Structure 1
Amino acid sequence: MVNKEKYRAIIAELNPTKTTLVAVSKLKPAEDVKALYDLGQKDFGENYVQELVEKQAQLPSDIRWHFIGHLQSNKVKYIAPFVHLIHGVDSFGLLKEINKQAAKHNKVIPCLLQIHIAEEETKYGLDEKEAIELMEMFTAQQTQLANVRIDGLMGMASFSEDEEKVRAEFRNLKALFHILKQSYFLASDQFNTLSMGMSGDYNLAIEEGSTLVRIGSLLFGNR
């Protein structure tokens, strides 16, 4: 069940900073997505390839679909025809596969590099050194990677009640964002997305410079 009042309240909060809302609709039925779409929401995030493909076929064609889960290289081909933004690029190999599949559709697929900023153990996300190494490889091979674009960074803070800890992790991500912007995108305006903040910490993320928040449970209820 969609919480329409909460949606309107969040949009009102995000408008002053022009922060983009991605409504995370994983494990929710297509009719819930449509209910939010009818209120004006266009950006939706999904974590599972099969579910995303099924919903994309059922719902309006002007929805901007974000893939926000861990993406395996062998699944890229299924979402390449329509995906708006891939949030979780955590290896150069995945970036090359996205480029390969995008080329088949004669399109450019925008991506975000996933950075590991939380203290919790996770398999996914680059550290600062790995992010710089990936950018070096990308820059060196940019002519062969014309069908993929790096638009910014994504990171998830620790699941913690400690606001200062969460803020510090967001600040670390923003600092890396500026380092990469200065080093690799100074002459370009494409590297402009900083995706951080979810249902529990989006207010802090916005205060720390997020340009895009991913909110699910506040809008759709618990899964």
Structure 2
Amino acid sequence: MDEIKERLDQVRENIQKACGRAGRNPAEVNVIAVTKYVDVETTRRVLDVGLTDIGESRAQEAVPKWEELGERGAWHFIGHLQRNKVKAVVGRFTYVHSLDRYSLARELNNRSEALGQPTRCFIQVNVAGEESKRGLKPEEVIDFAREAAELPWLQLAGLMTMAPFTEDPEEVRPVFRQLRGLQQEIRKLGDSRLNLPHLSMGMSRDYTVAVEEGATFVRLGSVLVGGPPGRR
């Protein structure tokens, strides 16, 4: 537990410094511990040190962890979600960070209605236009958000993006800045259903830059809980 606590303390210190540079309140930034590469016991240790947001990207691997630990935190589905996996996600995960098509929105809405439990969703945006990544094009987001907002059992929590992998995090600052600009553009529409309070952006390599640009959720794996090296 000590190692995870030390890593968390360092992450929080880095977030505090980033917020200081940006004139933000560190309390606005939520840390999601991405536990997809670690076992149930390590996930339990994450919760034991005080983190309450858990991120998983594969339903079949996440469900056993949720069954043991689900009541202890808010669970975030952060990976690509296939429609046939929606049943496993709705009712267990508080947030879905990868809403990227209307057929998925309908499926989430229908399953949420059946359970009588709304699902909070982030619209995934492929800001950088990478072919290897999923998500809507920025110019598609406003129309999609309007359509999704008509589904009564979906709550649009915000926008999400994954920045390109770079050695220098400064290179992806424009990606985060563009997502924030898109959020502000949507808010100007004046539709209360499209308030989109959150920005889910920033991972292990680039989270401090994301915080400087307005992230309210950062998704941290290797820098926090270990696992294979990489941006998560």
How does the TM-score come out when normalised to structure 2?
A: 0.87
**Residue 158 of structure 1: aligned partner:** 164
Amino acid at match of 1:174: R
Counterpart CA distance in 1 for 2:66 and 2:54 is: 10
**Residue 134 of structure 2: aligned partner:** 124
**Residue 147 of structure 2: aligned partner:** 137
- How big is the shift at 1:125? 0.4
**Residue 44 of structure 1: aligned partner:** 54
Q: Which portions of structure 1, spanning 4 or more consecutive aligned residues, are displaced by more than 4 angstroms?
A: none
Counterpart CA distance in 2 for 1:137 and 1:166 is: 29
Counterpart CA distance in 2 for 1:177 and 1:132 is: 9
Deviates more, 1:4-13 or 1:187-196: 187-196
**Residue 112 of structure 1: aligned partner:** 122
Amino acid at match of 1:6: R
Number of positions where the alignment pairs a residue of Structure 1 with one of Structure 2? 218
Selected match of 1:17 from 5, 26, 30: 26
Residues 14-93 of structure 1: matches in 2 within 5 Å? 14=15, 16-18=25-27, 19-93=29-103
- How big is the shift at 1:82? 1.8
Q: Match of 2:158, SS?
A: strand
- How big is the shift at 1:190? 5.0
Selected match of 2:183 from 177, 183, 187: 177
- How big is the shift at 1:121? 2.1
How does the TM-score come out when normalised to structure 1?
A: 0.91
Task: Give the share of equivalent positions with the same residue, in percent.
Answer: 36
Is 2:219 aligned against 1:218? Answer: no
Structure 2 gaps of 5+ residues are 17-24
Note the alpha carbon deviations across 1:185-216, whole angstroms, 9 max, x for none.
4x468520101100000000001111110000
Is 2:202 aligned against 1:192? Answer: no
Structure 1 gaps of 5+ residues are none
Amino acid at match of 2:26: T
- How big is the shift at 1:120? 3.4
Q: Judging changes above 3 Å, is the alpha-carbon distance between structure 1 residues 210 and 65 closer, same or farther for their aligned structure 2 residues?
A: same
CA RMSD of aligned residues (A): 1.8
Amino acid at match of 2:6: E
